[in-house]
Amino acid sequence: MNAVRNPRYLRRRFWNIFHLSMAMITTLFGLFWLVWILWTTISYGATALNLELFTGDTPAPGSIGGLRNAFVGSLLMIGMAVILGTPVGILAGTFLAEFAQGSRLAAAIRFFNDILLSAPSIVIGLFIYAVVVVPMGSFSGFAGALSLAILLLPVILRTTDEMLGMVPSTMREAALALGAPHWKMIVQVNYRAARSGILTGVLLAVARISGETAPLLFTALSNQFFSTNLDKPIANVPVVIFHFAMSPYPEWQHLAWAGALIAAMAVLALSLVSRFLIKDRSPR
């Protein structure tokens, strides 16, 4: 009775309720933006969706068309980036988890890998411009793929490192005890045990690069026409969205929204699938 009326107690209770309500309000605030942005993308994008989007190429101002060349270009570059970046990331991650655990070199590489992971993507684009585009003398899909591969690499390296680290050492010892050489143990036992984890990393990395625009501005540029030639500038969804959204033509802006919706859906689907994979793995 006395305690409830105690002003000190009331004050503590008040601040507790105040702060906890603020926490609740900020969470709603954060979700509010998510809903607003998703809603905008869906409502603007859905009205622009049609079959022409996948069959027509990017149109001249004032005429109608689709984004076929941009979709093909993006898929080509993302595929190329995965082919280039995934093996490098997995093997480098293997070194950290299997050969150099606890060493100072591994700590340094992990540290700088994390820096590379968070480095602005536009800077990576400039780097590829300086070392690939300038010597080659032209913007190219290959340069675009390379810049995406560099963005992909640290994500895969990190997940591989972490996932291999979770493989129980008894499995390693069992393989070695049977006389397997070290590399065989890694390839046939550890990779298999960590497979779904590494796959998750690859999916997350692909989700990350699918929406990347900035590095492609300096590397792949864009192309008005359908092309599968990676030696030349190639159309791709993000850069086309950027140009079309900034343009004064309503047809182009509609296409930009349609492209944005599809890009967002692809990225969200990828991250949902990878989330599902994580959950699917038995805990611990």
Partner 1 sequence: MREAALPSPALPSRISPARSRRLHAMDWGFRWLTGGLAILVLFLLVGVALSLFLRGWEAFHHFGFAFFWSDAWDPVTENFGALVPIYGTLVSSLIAMLIAVPISFGIALFISELAPEWLRQPVGSAIELLAGIPSIIFGMWGLFVFAPVLSSAEPWLNDHLGVLPGIGVLFRGPPMGIGMLTAGIILAIMVIPFISAIMRDVFLVVPAMLKESAYGLGATTWEVTRHVVLPYTRTAVVGGVFLGLGRALGETMAVTFVIGNAHDLHLSLLDAGNSIAATLANEFAEAFSPMYKSALMALGFILFIITLVVLVLAKLMLWRLGQGQGKTGL
Chain CA centroid to CA 87, Å: 17
Interface with partner 1 (CB under 8 A), residue from 60, 114, 136, 228 = 114
Cα 170 from Cα 45, distance rounded (Å): 52
Interface with partner 1 (CB under 8 A), residue from 48, 70, 167, 241 = 241
Q: Quick check: 72 binds partner 1 (CB under 8 A)?
A: no
Interface with partner 1 (CB under 8 A), residue from 49, 116, 230, 273 = 116
Interface with partner 1 (CB under 8 A), residue from 49, 52, 57, 88 = 88
Region 165-224 residues binding partner 1, contact defined as CB under 8 A:
179, 181-183, 186, 207, 210-214, 217-218, 221
Q: Quick check: 61 binds partner 1 (CB under 8 A)?
A: no
Q: Quick check: 94 binds partner 1 (CB under 8 A)?
A: yes
Interface with partner 1 (CB under 8 A), residue from 119, 193, 199, 230 = 119
Q: Quick check: 100 binds partner 1 (CB under 8 A)?
A: yes
Q: Quick check: 15 binds partner 1 (CB under 8 A)?
A: yes
Cα 62 from Cα 248, distance rounded (Å): 10
Cα 139 from Cα 131, distance rounded (Å): 12
Region 24-53 residues binding partner 1, contact defined as CB under 8 A:
24-27, 29-31, 33-34, 36-38, 40-41, 44
Q: Quick check: 91 binds partner 1 (CB under 8 A)?
A: yes
Angle at 148 between CA 144 and CA 150, to 5 degrees: 120
Q: If you compute the radius of gyration of the chain from its CA atoms, what whole number of angstroms results? A: 24
Q: Which of 77, 75, 76, 66 is nearest to 256 (CA)?
A: 66
Region 125-154 residues binding partner 1, contact defined as CB under 8 A:
126-127, 130-131, 150, 153-154
In the complex, the smallest distance separating the C-beta of residue 226 from partner 1, rounded to whole angstroms, is: 21
Q: Please report, for residues 47, 154, 219, the alpha-carbon distance to residue 149 in angstroms, rounded to integers and kept in the order given.
A: 34, 9, 12
Angle at 280 between CA 276 and CA 284, to 5 degrees: 125
Q: Quick check: 111 binds partner 1 (CB under 8 A)?
A: yes
Q: Which is nearer to partner 1, 196 or 253 (CB)?
A: 253
Contacts of 176 (CB under 8 A, 6+ apart): 182, 185
169 C-beta neighbours (distance < 10 Å), count: 7
